[in-house]
Structure 1
Amino acid sequence: MADLTVTVERPPTAVRRPRRALLSLVPALVVGCYLLVAAVGPLLIHYDPVHTSLTDRLLAPGSRTSTGDTAWLGTDGLGRDMLAQIAYGARTAVLIGACTVTLSGLVGVVLGAVAGYFRGAADAVLARIFDVLLAFPAILLAIVIAGAFERSALLVVLALSATGWIGFARVTRGIALSLRERPWVDAARVLGVPGRTILARHVLPFTAGPVVALATLEFALVVLAEAGLSFLGIGLPPSTVSWGQTIAGGKEYLETQWWIATLPGIALSLLIVAIGILGDQLTARYGRGRPGRTPTTHSSARTG
Structure 2
Amino acid sequence: MSQTVALPRQVATRRWRRGALARVPYVVIALYVLVAVIGPLVIDYDPVHTPLPDRLLTPGARTASGGVAWLGTDALGRDILAQIVYGARTSLSIGLATVLVACLVGVAIGIVAGYARGWLDAVLARIIDVLQAFPAILLAIVIAGVFARSVLVVVLALSVTAWISFARVTRGVALSLRERAWVDAARVMGVPVLSIMVRHVLPFTIGPVVALATLEFALVVLAEAGLSFLGIGLPNTAVSWGQTIANGQQYLETAWWISTLPGIALSLLIINIGILGDQLTARYGHRRRRT
TM-score normalised by the shorter chain: which range applies? over 0.9
Shift of residue 286, structure 1, vs aligned partner:
1.8
Are the aligned partners of 1:142 and 1:162 in contact in 2 as well (CA < 8 Å)? yes
| Alpha-carbon spacing, 1:288–1:175, altered in 2? closer, same or farther (3 Å) | farther
Shift of residue 6, structure 1, vs aligned partner:
6.3
Task: Give 2:223's match in structure 1, choosing from 222, 225, 239.
Answer: 225
Residue in 2 aligned with 1:201?
Answer: 199
Task: Give 1:85's match in structure 2, choosing from 83, 86, 89.
Answer: 83
RMSD: 1.4
- More deviation, 6-15/189-198: 6-15
Matched, 1:10 2:17: no
Consecutive unaligned residues of structure 2, counting only runs of 5 or more, are: none
Residue 179 of structure 1 aligns with an amino acid whose one-letter code is L
- Normalised by the length of structure 1, the TM-score is 0.93
Task: Give 1:111's match in structure 2, choosing from 104, 109, 112.
Answer: 109
Residue in 1 aligned with 2:142?
Answer: 144
Are the aligned partners of 1:179 and 1:291 in contact in 2 as well (CA < 8 Å)? no
Residue 244 of structure 1 aligns with an amino acid whose one-letter code is G
| Alpha-carbon spacing, 1:146–1:287, altered in 2? closer, same or farther (3 Å) | farther
Are the aligned partners of 1:152 and 1:237 in contact in 2 as well (CA < 8 Å)? yes
Shift of residue 289, structure 1, vs aligned partner:
7.0
Describe how 1:1-304 pairs up with structure 2 within 5 A: 7-8=3-4, 9-11=6-8, 12-287=10-285, 290=288
Alpha-carbon separation, structure 2, partners of 1:288 and 1:121: 33
Alpha-carbon separation, structure 1, partners of 2:286 and 2:153: 33
- Secondary structure at 1:240 match in 2: coil
Residue 19 of structure 1 aligns with an amino acid whose one-letter code is R
| Alpha-carbon spacing, 1:80–1:131, altered in 2? closer, same or farther (3 Å) | same
Consecutive unaligned residues of structure 1, counting only runs of 5 or more, are: 294-304
Alpha-carbon separation, structure 2, partners of 1:84 and 1:234: 22
Alpha-carbon separation, structure 1, partners of 2:276 and 2:151: 26
| Alpha-carbon spacing, 1:291–1:202, altered in 2? closer, same or farther (3 Å) | farther
Shift of residue 121, structure 1, vs aligned partner:
1.5
Q: Deviations over 1:109-131 (max 9, x none)?
A: 00000000011121011000011
Residue 33 of structure 2 aligns with an amino acid whose one-letter code is L
What is the percent sequence identity of the aligned residues?
A: 71
Are the aligned partners of 1:220 and 1:276 in contact in 2 as well (CA < 8 Å)? yes
Residue 206 of structure 1 aligns with an amino acid whose one-letter code is F
Residue 98 of structure 1 aligns with an amino acid whose one-letter code is L
Alpha-carbon separation, structure 2, partners of 1:21 and 1:281: 12
Alpha-carbon separation, structure 2, partners of 1:33 and 1:7: 42
- Secondary structure at 1:10 match in 2: helix
- Secondary structure at 2:248 match in 1: helix
Residue 229 of structure 1 aligns with an amino acid whose one-letter code is L
**How many residue pairs are counted as aligned between the two chains?**
289
Shift of residue 287, structure 1, vs aligned partner:
3.9
Larger Rg over CA atoms: 1
Shift of residue 17, structure 1, vs aligned partner:
0.6
Residue 121 of structure 2 aligns with an amino acid whose one-letter code is D
- Normalised by the length of structure 2, the TM-score is 0.97
Are the aligned partners of 1:216 and 1:276 in contact in 2 as well (CA < 8 Å)? yes
Shift of residue 14, structure 1, vs aligned partner:
2.8
Relative to its length, the structure with more helix (as a share) is: 2
| Alpha-carbon spacing, 1:102–1:287, altered in 2? closer, same or farther (3 Å) | farther
Residue in 2 aligned with 1:299?
Answer: none
